[in-house]
Amino acid sequence: MLGAFRSALATPDLRRKILFTLGMVVLYRLGATIPSPGVSYPNIQQCIVQLQGSGSQSVYSLLNLFSGGALLQLSVLSLGIMPYITASIIIQLLQVVIPRFEQLKKEGQSGQAKLTQYTRYLAIALAVLQATGVVALAVRGQLFQGCSVPVIPDDSVLNLIVIVIVMTAGAALLMWMGELITERGIGNGMSLLIFTSIAARVPAEGGNILNSHGGLVFSVVCAFAVAIIATVVFIEQAQRRIPVQYAKRMIGRRMYGGTSTYLPLKVNQAGVIPVIFGSSLLYLPQLLGQLAGNQNTWWAQFIQTYIVDPASWVHILLYMAMIVFFAYFYVSITFNPEERADEMKKFGGFIPGIRPGRPTAEYLNFVLSRITLPGSLYLGIIAILPNFFLGITGGQGQNQNFPFGGTAVLIMVNVGLDTVKQIESQLTQRSYEGFLR
């Protein structure tokens, strides 16, 4: 491993890519600490301390996790990369619904560039909506429940508009930085920015556990974290390999085909998307209730007690059910067995024992539906693990903010594996030994 890093840093172009990526990450973390104009930084720090001390769950805890804690500080880059990620998911889902988007997807690089442009426009619109919602909650004192000091002392319309514009511009800047990392650096830029945001919170959360409960509990949590990470790595690498045989074809005076390969189907085909969808929908009722302004009604109390509270069994079961549902839904959207069967038939491929065409599509759909069930259950179990450790973390690591479980570990492991594989491929091209042996 160390020899591979030494070889990577000894290669000039690969070293430039690594240093460029590290430089952009440092700039991102610096920008995440700069408060927006018109925001009282001391008051925000006081409210954050009170929020952690009370152990209350913020409606924006998932977005705050993806921004590395910058959202609740109302910094310049407080929105993080989530508007772009949300826009990308929406555009990807619309490719199945809108024929124009489906046609652009099949046009290759030019069509993909057009879809990327649509994604940017939608991301800016979502950033404006999200910034407006965050500022509105901050002005009304509902972003930090129980905090009496105003985080935005000047609540004039002009000042609020300036804050929204600055936050939106920060989201656009992060989009540009992510694309630069993808183009000139190592790995996927958007994923690396999310990885950096989550990793930035791990030392603080670990320090809170160490200071609150001592070294023994901290050691147990670290051992538990290692076990979770090893499990996630094992399952994320697991796949069902369906053998595919290509028949021999004579094209001109050359013989093609006759090779054997396989079609890899991952156990976790949906990735972390079902967890994000389920988390967002669970916090949507609380957000709507806060915007309505009346927290004393019976339905508001029911939502706060059973739906939002991560220690509630209703919350856990509902969260698990949503993850399983969205896993099947997202896999059905992103993987089309009929298209795969048509592509195999077009190039003379077939699965041994299965007729080409419709029987192949039915077989792929059968296999995919069977492996999606354990994949969705795995996602649900990893996601709800932090709910059982609220007592260990003293209420500060609630749900998504627990540093060694849930969405955090899933994203960090996936991004880490993808980045290592990209470095590995570039090292292999230069005849160096890589990370994977």
Q: Note the pLDDT tens digit of each residue in 366-421.
A: 999 899 999 899 888 888 877 666 544 444 444 444 555 567 788 888 888 888 88
Residue 430 belongs to a domain: no
Residue 332 belongs to a domain: yes
Residue 304 belongs to a domain: yes
Work out the average pLDDT over 24-44.
Answer: 85
Residue 2 belongs to a domain: no
**Helix ranges, 303-404 (H):** 313-334, 337-346, 358-384
Work out the average pLDDT over 344-370.
Answer: 87
What is the structure's pLDDT at 168? Answer: 93
Q: Is the pLDDT of residue 436 over 70?
A: no
Q: Which of helix, strand or coil describes residue 80?
A: coil
Which residue is it, tokens 């990470």? Answer: 229
Q: Count CB-CB contacts under 10 A for residue 21.
A: 21
**Helix ranges, 140-188 (H):** 157-184
Among 34-48, 58-72, 128-142, 192-206, the least confident range? 58-72
CB 357 within 8 A of CB 341: yes
Residue 371 belongs to a domain: yes
Q: Tell me how far apart the alpha carbons of residues 426 and 429 are, in angstroms, rounded to a whole number.
A: 5
Work out the average pLDDT over 351-373.
Answer: 89
- Do 163 and 245 have their domain in common? no
Q: Tell me how far apart the alpha carbons of residues 70 and 64 are, in angstroms, rounded to a whole number.
A: 6
Helices 407-429, 189-237: axis angle to 10 degrees equals 100
Q: Tell me how far apart the alpha carbons of residues 53 and 370 are, in angstroms, rounded to a whole number.
A: 45
Residue 349 belongs to a domain: yes
- Do 298 and 335 have their domain in common? yes
- Do 255 and 175 have their domain in common? no
What is the structure's pLDDT at 299? Answer: 66
Write down the mean pLDDT value for the chain: 79
Helices 12-31, 189-237: axis angle to 10 degrees equals 110
In the numeric block, which tokens belong to residue 355? 């007729």
What is the structure's pLDDT at 128? Answer: 92
What is the structure's pLDDT at 391? Answer: 45
Q: What's 297's DSSP letter?
A: S
Query: 267 φ, ψ to 5°?
Result: -65, -45
Strands, E, within 182-314: which ranges? 239-246, 249-251, 254-256, 260-266
CA distances from 318 to 10, 271, 380 (A): 51, 19, 10
- Do 154 and 227 have their domain in common? no
Q: Count CB-CB contacts under 10 A for residue 155.
A: 13
Among 124-138, 147-161, 315-329, the least confident range? 147-161
Who's near 203: CB < 8 A, 6+ residues apart?
none
- Do 176 and 240 have their domain in common? no
Among 65-74, 264-273, 345-354, the least confident range? 65-74
Query: Which domain CATH number covers 225?
Result: 1.10.3370.10
Q: Is the pLDDT of residue 72 over 90?
A: no
CB 174 within 8 A of CB 84: yes
In one letter, which amino acid is 278? G
Q: Note the pLDDT tens digit of each residue in 198-209.
A: 888 777 777 777
Task: Please choose, from the candidates 283, 229, 226, 219, the residue with its C-alpha nearest in 3D space to the C-alpha of residue 65.
Answer: 283
- Do 108 and 219 have their domain in common? no
Task: Please choose, from the candidates 399, 364, 408, the residue with its C-alpha nearest in 3D space to the C-alpha of residue 269.
Answer: 364
Which residue is it, tokens 């967002």? Answer: 280
- Do 335 and 248 have their domain in common? yes
Which residue is it, tokens 């996602």? Answer: 379
Reported as type and span, the H/E element at residue 350 is strand 349-350
Q: Is the pLDDT of residue 178 over 50?
A: yes
- Do 168 and 278 have their domain in common? no
Q: Which of helix, strand or coil describes residue 160?
A: helix
Q: Which residues pair with 58 in a beta bridge?
A: none
Work out the average pLDDT over 173-188.
Answer: 88
Strands, E, within 32-93: which ranges? none
- Do 266 and 125 have their domain in common? no
Residue 201 belongs to a domain: no
Counting the structural domains of the chain, the total is 2
What is the structure's pLDDT at 273? Answer: 81
- Do 343 and 271 have their domain in common? yes
Q: What's 389's DSSP letter?
A: G
Share of the chain above pLDDT 70, in %: 79
- Do 223 and 142 have their domain in common? no
Residue 5 belongs to a domain: no
- Residue 275, domain extent: 211-410
Q: Note the pLDDT tens digit of each residue in 87-114.
A: 888 888 888 788 888 888 878 788 888 8
Reported as type and span, the H/E element at residue 349 is strand 349-350
- Do 278 and 342 have their domain in common? yes
Q: Note the pLDDT tens digit of each residue in 289-338.
A: 666 555 566 666 676 666 766 667 887 888 888 889 988 988 888 888 88
In the numeric block, which tokens belong to residue 220? 């147990």
Q: Tell me how far apart the alpha carbons of residues 288 and 391 are, in angstroms, rounded to a whole number.
A: 28
